[in-house]
Amino acid sequence: MSSSFQRLFPLLKDFERHHLKLIQATVGTPPCPAAHGSVQFVSIEPGEQTGRAKTKSAEDEFTDGDEKELPVIVGVGINYWQNPNGPTATLTPCLPTVIDFDSEMRRAVNDAMGAYRRNSVAWTTPFNKRDAHASHVPHLPEGSDYILIATNFCPFITLKLWGKHEPKEQTDLLKAWSPPTHLDALFRLIGADVDLWIGHGVEHWSKFDAWRVTWPVHNWMVTYNLSGLGSANMAKARSTGNDLYK
């Protein structure tokens, strides 16, 4: 498995446009007070060592390195972003493109992969599902480049951090759009190209586990949120001697 930015970008751009039209037609307006009004279904980061990543170009024209075949990692979280300035009257795109360059997410993926490389046995032997766990994670050598794709259970951009919203608001957001609609479609579209799926955010591991068993997702792991906070939590776990992160 592996793919190139040149192959994946047009697919994901069309995927985002299709689901934006679908959610506009079926939901239309922010579904509850917690929703800002903008939405994002998927984003893609090119390989870190490619010309596009170095120039941070979000142009549609292909550039140096876009054709390079690289491992593909998909992070599945809860929602993409927060925007306190809202709500908007209708559902609109969060980003003008599906291309993103979120260094914190890649750094957290590197930290999670590093933890796995240091002690893969602890990650893949019988586990307690309340802890991080994994199965058949590719042994990418340290420093390996890869394409990073982000998607989430909830496509709605929220006014506050997810955990700052009341449980009812979280439930309302998840009920307003059925996650399998786009997660299943994403697997059908690029599942054969993906080397590793990562369910991230402790509170959402069970959602990820429930989704992945409905598809032939063989290479996966669940870990802390793929963010700066997640990296900090991994470092803390390592400093306290946690078997998964030591």
In a domain, 245, yes or no: no
pLDDT band at 224 (very low <50, low <70, confident <90, very high): very high
In a domain, 217, yes or no: yes
Contact 43, 98 (CB under 8 A): yes
Least confident segment among 68-72, 84-88, 206-210, 232-236: 84-88
Note the pLDDT of residue 127: 61
Strand, coil or helix: 16: helix
Separation of alpha carbons 32 and 154, rounded Å: 13
In a domain, 246, yes or no: no
Alpha helices in 131-246 (DSSP H): 167-176, 180-190, 205-212, 228-239
Rg, Å, the chain Cα set: 18
> In this structure, what DSSP letter does residue 52 have?
H
In a domain, 244, yes or no: no
Given a cut of 70, is residue 159 above it in pLDDT? yes
Given a cut of 90, is residue 178 above it in pLDDT? no
pLDDT tens digits along 28-68? 999 989 999 999 999 999 999 999 999 999 988 899 889 99
Range of the domain at 204: 5-239
Amino acid at 246: K
Average pLDDT of 181-208?
95
Contact 147, 49 (CB under 8 A): no
In a domain, 166, yes or no: yes
Maximum pairwise Cα distance, the chain = 50
Note the pLDDT of residue 144: 94
pLDDT tens digits along 87-107? 888 999 998 999 999 889 999
Domain count for the chain, please give it.
Answer: 1
Q: Which residues does 38 contact at the CB level (< 8 Å), separation at least 6?
A: 83, 86, 88, 91, 92, 93, 94, 157
pLDDT tens digits along 121-131? 889 886 656 67
Given a cut of 90, is residue 27 above it in pLDDT? yes
* CA-based nearest residue to 17, from 97, 117, 126, 124: 97
In a domain, 212, yes or no: yes
In a domain, 126, yes or no: yes
Note the pLDDT of residue 86: 74
Least confident segment among 9-18, 42-51, 77-86: 77-86
In a domain, 202, yes or no: yes
Matching residue, tokens 């917690």? 34
